[in-house]
Amino acid sequence: MIRSASHSSYPRIGDGEWDQQLRRTARERDRGLATDADFRAVEDEVASLVVAEQSRAFVDIVTDGLVRWSGPFSHFARGWDGVALDGLSRWFETGLYDRRIAVTGPVKRCEAVVVRDAKLALDVRPKHYKAVLPGPVTLAFSARVADGADRAAVAEEVAAALAAEALELAAAGVKIVQLDEPILCRRADLADLVARCAAKVFEAAGEGATTILSTYFGDLSDPALDLAALPGTHLGLDMVHGAANWPVLVRLPEGRGVHLGLFDARTVRPETAEEAFERIVPYREILLARDVMVGPQCGLELIPRDHAFDKLLQARYLKEKLEREWRWHS
């Protein structure tokens, strides 16, 4: 099966008058002219609009754009005990900053964080909706912990908290869950821990769920990495920044689906479905035997909205081209 897919985040503001609503309301809130409730209401509207906008690009699998997330990690602190927000830190080498998580005690989930968001997104009735969760290992190894603290133990606690979230997402009707573990591209030595934590979350997502272990900002070419040991129905690979990921396709375990990050969500350089098609042609036989998703390699909020929309359009065109030329069906 071949499907087009959004990765995770989507720009929450754009150039149009209404597209500035979230930014405008945030500024009004800062000046005391709007309340938190006003801001949350606009966030909900924007999130629904973002689901609709991705659907308008005829992308098969969409997200809610992570529109309500304060940052890739900090957003989840609101629902967990044992963590606090620390100083500002850069999200890998991107220009996006987030408050770093500081671990202050055993990490435990005290309330749902993205379940309501998922329900509202499903109300928009997209073709397929994907919920995105932060990777426990990437989070634990980026967090501020006490000297000598066991980061692996923190990752296991975070995985338990996210498993509880995944269980509620499944109950809410979510059938596709993605766990982001970009750290795996830089720390192959953490593969066992990543596998253990991801398995815990994916198991909670329910039998029959599509589970994506997403990696990006690098590659999984380390020969010591046992791809078969990584859980999930799909492995997410960055084919833009991780050129060494192309040979990895040959090593993929039999039957494992793949989310191919073919479009660069970090640049506004125009890309076409034809260019992406040419890149995957040599891997035709390997890909045809699998369930494949095509789209950008990471969240789209690193580029302006019109460019983000165009990347999704190209993903859709690529999928349609593959259907036509390879007689591949979605």
Query: Which residues make up the interface to other proteins (CB under 8 A)?
Result: 11-15, 20, 22-23, 26-27, 30-31, 70-71, 86-90, 93, 95-98, 100, 144, 267-269, 301-307
What sign does the dihedral 223-229-233-238 (CA atoms) show? negative
d(CA 326, CA 289): 12
Of 64 and 156, the one with the shorter C-beta distance to other proteins is 64
Q: How far is the CB of 282 from other proteins (least distance, A)?
A: 26
Nearest-approach distance from CB 244 to other proteins, in angstroms: 17
Q: Which has the closest alpha carbon to 256: 281, 220, 282, 204? A: 220
CB closer to other proteins out of 85 and 172: 85
Backbone angles phi, psi at 292, to 5 degrees: -125, 140
CB-wise, 46 or 201, nearer to other proteins? 46
Task: Tell the smallest beta-carbon distance from residue 302 to other proteins (Å).
Answer: 7
Q: How far is the CB of 294 from other proteins (least distance, A)?
A: 23
Q: Given the complex with other proteins, which of 31 and 329 has the nearer CB atom?
A: 31
| Cα three-residue angle 183-173-203, rounded to 5 degrees | 45
- Give the whole-angstrom CA distance, residue 134 versus residue 196: 15
Nearer to other proteins, 91 or 317 (CB): 91
- For residues 54 and 6, give the distance between their C-alpha atoms in angstroms, rounded to a whole number: 8
Number of Cβ within 10 Å of residue 269's Cβ equals 8
Residue 260 three-state SS: strand
Structure tokens at 15: 């150039």
d(CA 292, CA 85): 37
The residue (of 29 and 251) whose beta carbon lies closer to other proteins is 29
Q: 5 and 294 in contact (C-beta within 8 Å)?
A: yes
Shortest distance, position 12 Cβ to other proteins, whole Å:
7
To the nearest whole angstrom, how small is the minimum distance from the Cβ of residue 65 to other proteins?
11
